[in-house]
Structure 1
């Protein structure tokens, strides 16, 4: 993952006769509201459903009614109890996170099986008995308060950790003294998409925060005017020192890193979700020194990897769409000169290439044990190569099959690192990697109640509408008959340069155990093949993503895996948009739709919380050309009365302050009013939950139980 990561990851609900659905459009109140865009008038009859459920009694009543009717539908499904029981059984195994070192100790997350939240453990040495450091399960009775991040001081004395309440992106940061587990009085608020960067003395850290929003607006207001501060341990947030702020650039957002040697503060600036950054740095050895501009435009990615004194290493796509690693000697950069200045003939560039662009896209680089660990994707499968500081290739890391690996963190002085490997049919396995010898030693392997030999995973390639070759993973029980009768779940995302790779999932295992086929399509817009693949699914090219997904469905049908009435599609966030767009474009192609926390109103998404960041991928209705493209596929605006839409269960949550729930509310209401046949249109609105992060185990099991029960009902799945 790059420095900033990704900001981003979306009526009547009973099975009623079509005449009632058509006649009673008053089931959800409609208002006479119209907006005009570049001379085009666009109706928005459910505008009132955008209001925060906590602030509008009418919206709260609508949510209660919808949830009641959805629950009534689901409770009548006989198989629901069996599905819930089996999911609970499968979920009940010890789960471990990838270990990491900090301040001379070893840390890891663990869940005993059905704990609502993972617990953070620490060990003094690899042989020491683990002891609990932070247990968020003690913070709330229902498990909806989560540990959302932790950063240790270099000396290991303190840990700053964040608390996430009800799934909101807003985090509250606290500080604990590790040795005594004593909680300090420090409390930092109005922080999201950010984490602290400790100074080497352990006396404080740099971080970025937003201004405090007006009362009642924290879940809907745009996130602007972020600023970088320094917090000294033991002082109130009101005394924090402003370090960097550009009031003339309210849309600038920041992440902070302190170099491993403690000499420099690196401030990476972003304005959207594209990996296009400005970079400033400050010499921490000069108390009164000001941040210096290193990259002064937003044309390329510059993800900070590490440093060798004044030489900074970056992952970049400058003249390398599949990315490379460069070194920049900050001593050779006069103040205000742009390291990203275009290369000129006869003029040496202000950087040195360390690792050139490869055949496969680089997805992440870490600098551990004085080596570059370069992660890349080969047709959406993880591969990792090691390079020396001079760029010389050392070796590859071998993995046990088709799957995903993650981890490889640590310090430049470390001699070992840890990673996790998993696949659709392989539960997570934790390995310790010896950097000197190149050997991997299995540390832990999840023990799940299933036999991997009974399942098979393969990768196929199919052609999209314009002839583009698209990869897709398919997983199911061994010996599957290709007779066109198999219930099939097709999943996709296709956006923000985020790749989908094969990994283990209890919910998908349960689906396959029930006899279902699971398919994952690697659509354009994702990060599977670099920036060109990403850009081919953005803005005016966004329709390519939907075409890729539709072509995946058609391939599964043509190759006898399934048929339309047995085919369900699923996606969340940008994937919720994907499902909504494909459902409204090709309703006859699908037997069920599960759009979750989706961006459904493409004309107004940029007006709420983090929505402004997504203009990089979607464009904006404030631009005439982009407005026309958005209107053509916006799910909410392309619902047509008199159409028979497939059975649909929209999923959202009342505390989702990334993709505000009004998107799903409006989409569901419009779909219910337009439905012309008996197929149910439901909406399931989770309470005290957000965009997905921090959701407790109990809620996850209930949510998946409802989804699989819905599919069993509407796809007519026969459980053995």
Structure 2
């Protein structure tokens, strides 16, 4: 995932890497060239530059003799017919969104519960996104649906054009399988909607075309109630936050007894949220700690996790990271602590069934699961560990307050995704499993630890051949995320197995600070000016791999996306001799201007702000764009982004590549014209990008130069 500093000559040709990508004749721009035209995202000159860079990159990577095989194998795995169809429990059955070679955009489909448990469920197509896209000539991407519980007959289907965050919402009837003529339609916007009843929807979106109801992050701060049959102009305002907020949104829960709770969420920052109960006329703000997250509604109790130590009035301190239950109408009457993790643990996910609360957690980054039930108000909840495989990721796939069943997924780097059924009072049982996409009998997965610059021990997973020789020259890819309290857990990735592990490569994932692997404190340690710890942790894992004689800088590459792309960029400029390949995906790289780019202002609580002098100094210190130097030899990076990314945006990647071009530094650049922040829209595009990466990493780390 990170740096290196080599100017290469490919063994297969006499072509030399020069500014922009590998090509026969160096055509570098003047050192003073003005690249401001790149700021016009879809402008003619900017798109000509993008197409030129794409052509140079593809003319090398796609022409590699391995590319077609890499692409074919990855696409086949992504579209394998025996993949586990992940369930969604609603509308009296099991629903699933499915993409394959015949439906690249996907089809939303349904079957009965009994049929789903069989080996060959009988699916009924409900909404064909390919047909809809063809009919309307729009590159629709299905991004889920918000359905009115408990019947889930009425849903607001969320459609995105080319994968952008902005969505169009359309009312759909799950019984008729049709969009409702004259039903609710909310035009394209960054928006969030929640049902109140059959005829009322709360919506947070831009009201008007002047942007006056959007925050500096580009998200809405005004929630209105929209009545069936009435235009948006007649919507009634429910709550107005502040332009300085990150976002305001509505949220609705219905528990297993049919009790409905309507909330307004005011995200003051990315991590600080205030919650209010809306009774249809008034808002009652809950005295919850600012750093808390609502997970659901069970037996009339709001299920909440707290990220800071919290002392409710008249009660003992609730430790940070705990899960609690409380009465939203009478919070002062008591808070029940459901679960408090120990120092090696962290909450991962919470799911609500009719009578239980399911929890998945990490224990030294290994997945665990538990089931909790209320005994009586004011008494400790009963707890039962659930028997799931070790050294794996365990996630809640489906849990519905109207159902007594739930589904868990279990996977790791060598075990394909499995689906486990959880029925009340029963231990989980495996009911479905994907077929392996690559041979694992000669591979092993182990958890190792490195010591960071400040002495903190950092865990990481390494996957490699059992008979790997400790020669210090094994081709190795190191990846991490390290931000926003998101945990990076073991995941089965066919392309990694087929295109890397089976060919003798080593795959490593580091659980560095900034993530959530060890709870709120692990994240807090890497926030704002503490962020250098994140970068030190990652560098320490790289050094540990060398010290263990697994690899060396010439055979060590790094990879990151989004915040992980920032990580990769920082490592490239801070440690340019420690890596020989750097994959920088949909990244933040211009940290002096990130607040003004796309949704950047929403991440001030994570990174800091240029408006605060001490935070500005740190942002300048770590900004990869700022610290690119003409006299330094860097590893040749592969930078990829998407024109339609309306979250991070392509300007970070463009500016970084343009500066490398100005300094006549070699690089690969690929910008997908569509795809949003995911960078890709469908399996074919995912396979294409992964194949490009695999060729790049093979050339840099496996081939002899």
TM-score range with shorter-chain normalisation?
A: 0.7 to 0.9
2:297 paired with 1:293: no
1:253 matched to which residue of 2? 248
Indicate the residue corresponding to 2:470 in structure 1.
482
Which residue is 2:33 aligned to? 30
Asked if 1:327 is matched to 2:312, the reply is: no
Contact 1:573/1:659, CA 8 A, preserved across alignment? yes
Given that residues 146 and 694 in structure 1 are in contact (C-alpha distance below 8 angstroms), is that contact kept between their aligned partners in structure 2? Answer: no
- Asked if the contact 2:138–2:161 (Cα under 8 Å) also holds between the matched residues in 1, the reply is no
The equivalent residue for 2:695 is 709
Q: Who is 1:651 aligned against?
A: 640
SS in structure 1 opposite 2:22? Answer: coil
Supply the distance in 2 between the matched residues of 1:143 and 1:465 (Cα, whole angstroms): 51
Query: Which secondary structure does the structure 2 equivalent of 1:631 belong to?
Result: helix
Distance 1:454 1:111, change over 3 A: farther
Q: Do the aligned partners of residues 670 and 299 (structure 1) sit closer, same or farther apart at CA in structure 2, a change above 3 Å counting?
A: same
Scaled by the length of structure 1, what TM-score is found?
0.86
Change (3 A) 1:263 1:16: closer
Q: Name the structure 2 match of 1:13.
A: 20
Answer yes or no: is 1:197 the counterpart of 2:194: yes
Provide structure 1 residue ranges, at least 5 long, that are not aligned to the other structure.
1-10, 32-45, 334-338, 340-348
1:71 equivalent to 2:51? Answer: no
Contact between 1:368 and 1:413, CA under 8 Å: does it hold in 2?
yes
Q: Provide the C-alpha distance between the structure 2 equivalents of 1:614 and 1:259, rounded to a whole number of angstroms.
A: 31
Deviation at 1:475, TM superposition (A): 1.1
**8 A contact 1:322–1:361 mirrored in 2:** no
Tell me how far 1:282 sits from its aligned partner: 1.4
Work out the CA distance in 1 between the residues paired with 2:650 and 2:266. Answer: 28
Contact 2:213 2:222 in 1 (8 A): no
Which runs of structure 2 are paired with 1:358-377 in the superposition (5 Å)?
A: 358-359=342-343, 360-377=345-362
- For residues 471 and 114 of structure 1, the distance between their equivalents in structure 2, rounded to whole angstroms, comes to 42
1:111 aligns with 2:99: yes
Taking a change above 3 Å as real, the CA distance of residues 463 and 428 of structure 1, as seen in their structure-2 partners, is same
What is the CA–CA distance in structure 2 between the aligned matches of 1:134 and 1:189, rounded to whole Å?
A: 19
Corresponding position of 1:541: 530
* Distance in 2 (alpha carbons) for counterparts of 1:401 and 1:351: 32
Q: What is the aligned partner in structure 1 of residue 307 from structure 2?
A: 317
Counterpart of 2:10?
A: none
Residue number in structure 2 paired with 1:39: none
The verdict on how the C-alpha distance between 1:224 and 1:163 changes in structure 2, with shifts beyond 3 A counting, is: closer
Return the alpha-carbon distance in structure 1 between the equivalents of residues 679 and 76 of structure 2. 23
Please point out which of 237, 245, 269 is paired with 1:272. 269
Unaligned runs of 5+ in 2: 1-17, 116-120, 310-317
- For 1:318 and 1:410, the matched residues in 2 are separated by 27
**DSSP 3-state at the match of 1:83:** helix
Measured after TM superposition, the shift of residue 662 of structure 1 is 0.6
Instruction: After TM superposition, give the deviation of residue 622 of structure 1 in Å.
Output: 1.1
1:593-645 CA distance string (max 9 Å, x none) = 11011110001111123111111110011110001111111000000111111
Q: Is the 8 A contact 1:197 1:258 kept in 2?
A: no
Q: Give CA deviations for 1:125-173 in whole Å, capped at 9, x if unaligned.
A: 4237321112223344699421001122222322221111112100111
CA distance in structure 1 between the aligned counterparts of 2:523 and 2:329, rounded to whole angstroms: 35
Tell me if the contact between 1:316 and 1:324 (Cα under 8 Å) persists in the aligned partners: yes
Q: Which sits farther off after the overlay, 658-667 or 180-189?
A: 180-189
Distance 2:319 2:606 in 1: 17
Q: Is the 8 A contact 1:600 1:636 kept in 2?
A: yes
* Deviation string, structure 1 residues 524-577 (Cα, Å, up to 9, x no partner): 000011111101111111111111111111111121221111111000000000
Deviation at 1:488, TM superposition (A): 0.9
| 3-state SS of paired residue (1:589) | coil
Tell me how far 1:321 sits from its aligned partner.
5.6
Counterpart position of 2:11: none
2:433 aligned to which of 445, 448, 451: 445
Q: CA–CA distance in 1 between the matches of 2:202 and 2:213?
A: 23
2:449 counterpart residue number = 461
Supply the distance in 2 between the matched residues of 1:450 and 1:269 (Cα, whole angstroms).
46
2:314: which partner in 1? none
Q: 2:138 & 2:692 partners in 1: Cα distance? A: 19
The CA distance in 2 between the partners of 1:448 and 1:572, in whole Å, is: 26
Q: Structure 1 pair 697/330, CA: closer, same or farther in 2 (3 Å)? A: closer
Contact 2:465/2:501 (8 A) holds in 1: yes
- Is the contact between residue 482 and residue 534 of structure 2 (CA under 8 Å) also seen in structure 1? yes
Q: Which residue of 2 aligns with 1:5?
A: none
C-alpha distance in 1 between matches for 2:446 and 2:228: 52
1:131-530 → structure 2 map (5 Å cutoff): 131-140=124-133, 144-154=139-149, 155-184=151-180, 185=182, 186-192=184-190, 195-199=192-196, 201-211=197-207, 222-247=217-242, 251-260=246-255, 261-274=258-271, 276-283=272-279, 287=280, 289-295=281-287, 299-309=290-300, 311-319=301-309, 322-332=320-330, 351-359=335-343, 360-390=345-375, 391-407=380-396, 409-438=398-427, 440-510=428-498, 511-530=500-519
SS at match of 1:453: coil
* 1:463-498 deviation digits (Å, cap 9, x = unpaired): 111111001011123322221222111111100110
**Is 2:253–2:260's contact at 8 Å kept on the other side of the alignment?**
yes
CA contact (8 A) 1:205 1:230 kept: yes
- Distance (Å, rounded) in 2 between the aligned partners of 1:483 and 1:214: 62
Quick check: 1:653–1:685 contact (8 Å CA) kept in 2?
yes
1:651: how far off? 0.5
Q: Name the count of aligned residue pairs.
A: 660
Shift of 1:99: 1.3
Question: 1:582 corresponds to which residue?
Answer: 571
Change (3 A) 1:357 1:420: closer
User: Residue in 2 aligned with 1:61?
Assistant: 48
CA RMSD of aligned residues (A): 2.8
Task: Name the stretch that deviates more: 470-479 or 655-664.
Answer: 470-479
Report how far residue 304 of structure 1 moved: 4.1
Query: CA 1:405–1:507 in 2, change beyond 3 Å: closer, same or farther?
Result: same
Q: 1:292 to 1:48 in 2, by over 3 A?
A: same
- 2:584 maps to 595
Q: Does the 8 Å CA contact 1:219/1:657 hold for their aligned counterparts?
A: no
TM-score w.r.t. length of structure 2: 0.87
Please tell me whether the aligned partners of residues 96 and 111 of structure 1 are also in contact (alpha carbons under 8 angstroms): no
Equivalent runs, 1:43-58 vs 2, <5 Å: 46-52=35-41, 54=42, 56-58=43-45
Cα distance in 1, alignment partners of residues 246 and 587 from structure 2: 23
Give the distance between the partners of 1:12 and 1:167, measured in 2 at CA.
31
**1:300-334 deviations in Å (ceiling 9; x for gaps):** 2142421433x43322234156421233334445x
Change (3 A) 1:181 1:386: same
**What residue in structure 2 maps to residue 120 of structure 1?**
108
2:204, 2:220 within 8 Å by CA — same for their partners in 1? Answer: no
SS in 1 for 2:630: coil
Contact 2:453 2:540 in 1 (8 A): yes
Q: Tell me if the contact between 2:71 and 2:691 (Cα under 8 Å) persists in the aligned partners.
A: yes
Moved more, 551-560 or 650-659: 551-560
